[in-house]
Amino acid sequence: MNALLAQLVNLLGAVLLMLAFAMIAQRRVLSLINLFTLQGAVLVLSTLVVAHVTAQSHLFLSAGITFVLKVVLIPWLLHRVVDRLQIQSDVETLINIPTTMLIGILIVIVSFNLALPIAQASSTLARGTVGIALACVLLSFLMMITRAKAVPQVIGFLAMENGLFFAATSATYGMPMVVELGIALDVLIGVLILGVFIFQIREQFDSLDIRHLERLKED
């Protein structure tokens, strides 16, 4: 039974990786937010599976916090920001999508090779998910550096934390509850600060293109 549930965690990890690829290829802001919400839902399911198998009660609380933050609250805040700023245009990319996807494939290959020694030394339920988690983090970072607008970069930052959380729950059975609560609070505060930052960019430059910030250096 445990082996079957371990395969389920690996499957959910594969879904998480597919969603990360979909995010780097996505051009619509609203679709990007929806993909992030799906990532949160997958994280909730994987955390619940690991909690059930390992009987780690704090993981059930972690799953609840993840659901509230990443499936309900943060997507709602992002939708509010998009509505307030009336963002309807496509996401502008600094590198074309096919090239970004090729770079993403290389990142996945490198991630799995880097994580292989760690996975072999691990004795946890889903040790194979280390490579998936590392690939998700690096793909999210790739999304951040290839987007010219502020909102997709915020989503990329949040998606990076998703990858780290997946690694913590599936490969190490979670972090101490105090640490998890602290990270959850930091993420929420970070989203609020970034929201204020986005509004300031829009008010100052009438655009969310972060390349306008280079004007501040010239001034």
Indicate if the pLDDT at residue 47 is higher than 90. no
Coil vs helix vs strand at 176: coil
- Nearest Cα residue to 128 out of 4, 41, 10, 49: 10
> Tens digits of per-residue pLDDT, 108-167?
999 888 888 776 666 555 566 788 888 999 999 998 888 877 778 888 888 888 888 888
Cα Rg of the chain, angstroms: 18
The Cα 84–Cα 80 span in angstroms is 6
Distance of CA 33 to the CA centre of its chain: 11
Whether the full predicted model's pTM is greater than 0.85, yes or no, is no
The Cα 61–Cα 97 span in angstroms is 38
The Cα 174–Cα 149 span in angstroms is 33
Indicate if the pLDDT at residue 174 is higher than 60. no
Domain boundaries, the chain: 2-218
In b/e form, how buried is each residue of 148-173, taking b as 16+ CB within 10 angstroms?
bbbbbbbbbbbbbbbbbbbbbbbbeb
